[in-house]
């Protein structure tokens, strides 16, 4: 089947998204591999993986490619990114479903399909959530997942805890990654969105995107310990760091 022009453009924008994200995350693909390997230990053919704050589908795409019989439910509150993701991942058909839901809303799970969720993952997104929201979200996931189900969060956790050398090395690593990315032609975060809004059916969602996020307050940086403790309170029997590069982590928890 021939791809539509919108699908072709959406995949170009997803690749550009991956490039700009990789400029902020030094070992982004290695981080994804750790997450996928952990998922492999917890899911079986026919399982459903929930991608939280999915963006345009970077993590969902990798899950769908790695596990050919797995289905992904991708949730986000950004209408532009959701529509872009639907076009970018159209090749996967009904193996992926993009859902509009706000994780800040305590009733966000009512938007999910009735099918069992076997694992949950998120990439570079949950740091946007305030501590009370994140704590409640982990409790939601503790109820949603079956015993043995896993949760994976790959994210920057940049809490300043007084370790000067760690902070300096992490900041220098960020600068090097961004300089390499720019030299290779990667867009910045603020450059990517105007490019995405220049064409395609997703561009029509730009004003609604601005309205939804206009009044969201800034959120504080949270430690790995905060995430781990909140997951344990939420009903996860195991929780801890599965991977780390300076202040970039993969947190793994099992229900």
- Collect contacts of 202-211 with beta carbons under 8 A, ≥24 apart: 202/10, 202/80, 202/81, 202/83, 202/84, 202/87, 203/80, 205/79, 205/80, 205/82, 205/83, 206/80, 208/79, 208/80, 209/78, 209/79, 209/80
Domains of the chain: 5-254 (3.40.50.150)
Q: Starting at the earlier edge strand, list the strands of the sheet with 48-52.
A: 96-100, 71-76, 48-52, 119-123, 150-156, 248-254, 238-245
Q: What average pLDDT is seen over the chain?
A: 95
Q: How confident is the model at residue 181 (pLDDT cuts 50, 70, 90)?
A: very high
> Residue 1 above 70 pLDDT?
no
> Residue 162 above 90 pLDDT?
no
Per-residue confidence (pLDDT) for residue 161, from 0 to 100: 77
pLDDT in tens, 32-82: 999 999 999 999 999 999 999 999 999 999 999 999 999 999 999 999 999
Per-residue confidence (pLDDT) for residue 163, from 0 to 100: 85
pLDDT in tens, 114-160: 889 999 999 999 999 999 999 999 999 999 999 999 999 999 987 67
pLDDT in tens, 201-222: 999 999 999 999 998 888 888 9
Distance CA 82, CA 196 (A): 12
Q: How confident is the model at residue 22 (pLDDT cuts 50, 70, 90)?
A: very high
Q: What is the mean pLDDT of residues 100-108?
A: 98
pTM over 0.85: yes
Q: How confident is the model at residue 3 (pLDDT cuts 50, 70, 90)?
A: confident
Distance CA 121, CA 151 (A): 6
Distance CA 13, CA 57 (A): 11
Q: What is the mean pLDDT of residues 166-185?
A: 93
- Please report the DSSP string for the chain in residue order: -PPPHHHHHHHHHHHHHHHHHHTT-TTHHHHHHHHHHHHHTT--TT-EEEEET-TTTHHHHHHHHH-TT-EEEEEES-HHHHHHHHHHTGGGGGGEEEEE--TTSTTGGGGS-SSPP-EEEEES-GGGS-HHHHHHHHHHHHHHSPTT-EEEEEEE-----S-HHHHHHHHHHHHHHHHHHHHTTPPPHHHHHHHHTTSSGGGGGHHHHHHHHTTPPP-----HHHHHHHHHHTT-SEEEEEEEETTEEEEEEE-
């Amino acid at each position: 089947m021939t791809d539509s022009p919108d699908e072709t453009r959406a995949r170009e924008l997803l690749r550009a998204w991956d490039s700009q994200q990789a400029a902020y995350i030094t070992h982004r693909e290695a981080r994804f591999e750790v997450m996928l390997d952990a998922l492999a230990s917890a899911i079986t053919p026919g399982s459903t993986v929930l991608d939280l704050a999915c963006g345009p589908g970077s993590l969902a795409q990798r899950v769908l490619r790695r596990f050919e019989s797995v289905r992904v439910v991708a949730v986000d509150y950004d209408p532009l990114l959701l529509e872009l993701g639907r076009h970018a991942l159209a090749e996967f058909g009904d193996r992926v479903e993009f859902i509009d839901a706000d994780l800040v809303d305590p009733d966000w799970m009512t938007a999910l399909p009735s099918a069992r969720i076997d694992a949950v993952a998120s990439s570079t997104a949950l740091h946007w959530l305030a501590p009370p929201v994140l704590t409640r979200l982990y409790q939601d996931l503790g109820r949603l997942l079956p015993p043995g189900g896993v949760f994976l969060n790959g994210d920057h956790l940049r809490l300043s805890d007084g370790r000067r050398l760690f902070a300096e090395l992490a900041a220098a690593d960020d600068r090097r990654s961004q300089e390499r990315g720019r030299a290779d032609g990667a867009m910045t975060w603020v450059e990517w969105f105007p490019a995405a809004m220049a064409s395609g059916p997703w561009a029509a969602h730009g004003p609604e995107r601005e309205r939804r996020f206009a009044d969201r307050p800034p959120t504080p940086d949270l430690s790995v310990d905060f995430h781990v403790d909140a997951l344990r309170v939420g009903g996860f029997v195991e929780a801890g760091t599965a991977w780390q590069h300076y202040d970039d982590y993969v947190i793994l928890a099992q229900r």
